Amino acid sequence: MLVHVPAVLDSEQLSYFRKKLAAADAPWMDGRVTAGHQGVHVKQNLQIAEVSALSAELGGMVLSVLERLPLFISAALPNRVYPPMFNRYENGMHFGNHVDGSIRLMPGSGAKIRTDLSATLFLAPPDSYDGGELLIEDTYGSQAIKLVAGDMVLYPASSLHRVAPVSRGVRLACFFWVQSMVRDDGQRTLLFDLDNAIQRLTATGADEAARISLTGSYHNLLRMWTDI
């Protein structure tokens, strides 16, 4: 399931993020330092140092927004979220075909997190750079994603994906992983569709007894499939 989450960050927040990431003392480093054995051979980008104060500050701001976003909660059913990271592509940089690692260690604690979903939050206006599309392979073929600044895409971490080379400008993005309460993508999709249907029925004032029944079915399925 691919889910477009619009307007995660507003214009004021985006301006602040871009200013901080463009500062002379921003701790950019070779992105291969966090790549696994598969990704290290096809990854060419820059990343903000994962344990830096800047990463903690901006990542914390992203998390504080996400926890108040109904669409993100409904689509991801988050149990744990890996601390958001930040990358930069320029001058031909790219990330070849890869699948994200299934398990990551949380910085500082060493606790393990299962990567059920991957997320990319776009920080640069799409007309400020050429190339840089996020290309995700799913059941419908290759999906090219290049969203307006402040928008985010959620997709299964098991998907084969890549970032096309950037030929002009700079592509800035935030990325992270989510361990969902429901690990199966098909089950999450069914729950997401059911939740959306309930919300639409509620908005139209549909039969109350039917809505209560559907809501009960949603929560009973969630109880059945939750992995916490």
Average pLDDT estimate for 57-63:
98
pLDDT at 167 over 90: yes
**What's the chain's average pLDDT?**
95
Q: Which CATH class is domain 185-225?
A: few secondary structures
pLDDT at 35: 72
| Whole-number Å distance between alpha carbons of 107 and 112 | 10
pLDDT at 228 over 90: no
Q: Token match 């992105």: residue? A: 31
pLDDT at 181: 98
pLDDT at 8 over 90: yes
The candidate with the shortest Cα–Cα distance to 170, out of 217, 115, 123, 135, is 123
Please state the three-class secondary structure of 49-78 as a single string. Answer: CCCCHHHHHHHHHHHHHHCCCHHHHHHHCE
Q: Chain-centre distance of CA 80, in angstroms?
A: 13
| Whole-number Å distance between alpha carbons of 216 and 210 | 10
Angle made by CA atoms 129, 130, 135, in degrees to the nearest 5? 110
Q: Token match 């950019």: residue? A: 28
3-180 with 185-225: one CATH topology? no
Q: What is the pLDDT of residues 79-117, one digit of tens each?
A: 999 999 999 999 999 999 999 999 999 988 889 999 999
| Whole-number Å distance between alpha carbons of 125 and 173 | 10
Query: Is-contact 1 188, C-beta < 8 A?
Result: yes
Name the pTM for this structure.
Answer: 0.95
| pLDDT: which is higher, 167 or 206 | 167
Q: Where are the domains of the chain?
A: 3-180, 185-225
| Homologous superfamily assigned to 3-180 | q2cbj1_9rhob like domain (2.60.120.620)
